[in-house]
Chain A
């Protein structure tokens, strides 16, 4: 279960609204490498993971991703608060506005709604952890691209924090993958799936 704590993981206080920036950053909410996909990926993968410390990594990082989801949403909310109709038209926000007004809805920067097809839960520890490591790098690249497109320091600070977290989580998933491999046949990691072929597990 989860308990809500009434604070963001890192402060978000954006003084100037900017609908253009919001439309770019929203990809880290509902886009292919965004925080919603990240949290759902790790939290769904936990159950078939046969190693308790790796399930711990998936639980704790998956939970942190929910806090990142909230930070990205707070950024979008603050960037689009109190927009006038003129600002909505001039800042290219009319196509989002027509479907969602100023409500927060998970879409990519190009407007594609969130889809569970953005992540896998394959039920094979090597496959899932390789996906998790790639996901962290894809999210890091997306944050790098956001940093190239945005110059307001109020936006840059929380985005830089989120980018750093991708790097730390890549490291943790790499360590988790090493744990999995240490439990397998070192001559052939792929001889069996430790999440399914449990009769083949030696320890």
Chain B
């Protein structure tokens, strides 16, 4: 459970940086420093998501791992205490 929480924390943190940069770039589209930060944040977020999905299950219904049963509905939803 702790390993999963740590992996999820990495998804949260990298997603937050990315979200901030996306909204900032909308109003500062020519800021080269922000563009370079965006590229780094995007790669870090992709890596965090890949790590989570590989070990703990799907984040999107479009990349559910192969299995005998439909893995999308097997785990707690984000609002549940068990999530």
Q: Residues of A with Cβ closer than 8 Å to B?
A: 3-13, 53, 56-57, 60-61, 64, 70, 73-74, 77-78, 81, 168-169, 172, 175-176, 179
Q: Residues of B with Cβ closer than 8 Å to A?
A: 8, 11-12, 15-16, 19-20, 22-24, 26-29, 58-62, 75, 77-79, 81
For the complex, give the distance between the alpha carbons of A73 and B78 in Å.
Answer: 11
* Given contacts A7-B8, A7-B12, A64-B19, A53 and B26 within 8 Å (CB-CB): yes
Which residues of the other chain, B, contact A3 by a CB distance below 8 angstroms? 60-62
Task: Flag if A57 contacts B23 (CB, 8 Å).
Answer: yes
| Nearest B-chain residue to A177, judged by Cβ | B27
Task: Flag if A4 contacts B26 (CB, 8 Å).
Answer: no
Task: Flag if A61 contacts B78 (CB, 8 Å).
Answer: no
- Can you report 20 A-B residue pairs in the complex whose CB atoms are below 8 A from each other? A3-B62, A4-B61, A5-B60, A6-B59, A7-B11, A8-B79, A12-B79, A53-B27, A60-B23, A60-B26, A61-B23, A64-B19, A70-B78, A73-B79, A74-B78, A77-B79, A78-B81, A175-B27, A176-B26, A179-B27
Min CB–CB distance A10 → chain B (angstroms): 7
| Nearest A-chain residue to B8, judged by Cβ | A7
